[in-house]
Chain A
Amino acid sequence: MKLKYFAWVRERVGKAEETVEPPAEVRTVADLIGWLTARDDAYAYAFEKPTVIRAAIDHAHVKQDAAIIGAREIAFFPPMTGG
């Protein structure tokens, strides 16, 4: 699946997007945040306050308990400040 990062999440992770293949036990958005956090310090810094992080699956907002099975694109970003 493709991961995308925006705003300060992108800056902290150090990339705008990447393709990952998480193991089968990574079932939800929260699991994915935990899996990424364990990879290295950049992700740990980006996700240091996981409750602040917003997520979208295939361009629709989701809660962190959402299942990621079948997702093509998952995005992580801070609360939005448009308008």
Chain B
Amino acid sequence: MSVTATIRIQQADFDVAQEIAALSKGRSDVGAVVSFSGICRGSEQGEPIAALTLEHYPEMAEAEISRHADEALARWPLQGLTIIHRFGRIAPGENIVLVVTASAHRQAAFEAAEFLMDYLKTNAPFWKREESARGTNWIEARDHDDAAAARWTKS
């Protein structure tokens, strides 16, 4: 049976426990579920922030995340995959992104989740803007995120 990824790009928050349960409840073929939650920090470069606002390119975000989900499903034996990415204004402590991978064994679930997060960071068309006492600023991309994504294309 082929596995279809669940991909949601939404303004609303999500329930991590509910998303994990959706991939594992009542199933005897899933031996491992890995989840990664990205959460809004209360500071950026040591300075307190009031909120992040995420701008996105809706049609491309959908296409780009789908492509990477398909690649993950082709590379690892997954039984389930859920990716949720929020946009709009997000306050410190709130969820931003969720990747949940389900597999028979842990290694595939861990690796696929890490691969997807590394690619989401550098290739999914979302841009964070921080609000702080100094005003609003676009957050700059980090070189180490590019390096993290690049290691998945090495032979």
What's the Cα separation between A56 and B60 when bound, in Å? Answer: 9
What's the Cα separation between A56 and B49 when bound, in Å? Answer: 31
How many residue pairs, one in A and one in B, have C-beta atoms under 8 Å apart? Answer: 73
Which of chain A's residues 1-35 have a Cβ closer than 8 Å to chain B? Answer: 4, 6-8
Of the candidates A8, A59, A78, A83, the one whose C-beta lies within 8 Å of that of B63 is A59
B124 touches A80 (CB 8 A): yes
A77 touches B57 (CB 8 A): yes
Q: A46-78, CB under 8 A of B: which get 1 and which 0?
A: 000000000010011100000000000001011
B127 touches A59 (CB 8 A): no
Identify whether the interface residues of B are mostly helix, strand, loop, or mixed: mixed
B138 touches A80 (CB 8 A): no
- Which residues of A sit under 8 angstroms from B54, Cβ to Cβ? 82
Interface size on B, residues (CB 8 A): 28
B120 at the interface (CB under 8 A from A): yes
Cβ-closest chain B residue relative to A7:
B127
A6 touches B128 (CB 8 A): no
A59 touches B85 (CB 8 A): no
Which of chain B's residues 53-90 have a Cβ closer than 8 Å to chain A? Answer: 54-57, 59-60, 63-64, 85
5 contacts between A and B (CB under 8 A): A75-B60, A78-B127, A79-B141, A80-B125, A83-B120
Going nearest first, the 8 A-B pairs with the smallest beta carbon separation are: A82-B126, A79-B141, A7-B127, A83-B121, A59-B60, A83-B120, A59-B63, A82-B124
| Residues of A participating in the B interface, judged by any CB pair closer than 8 Å | 4, 6-8, 56, 59-61, 75, 77-83
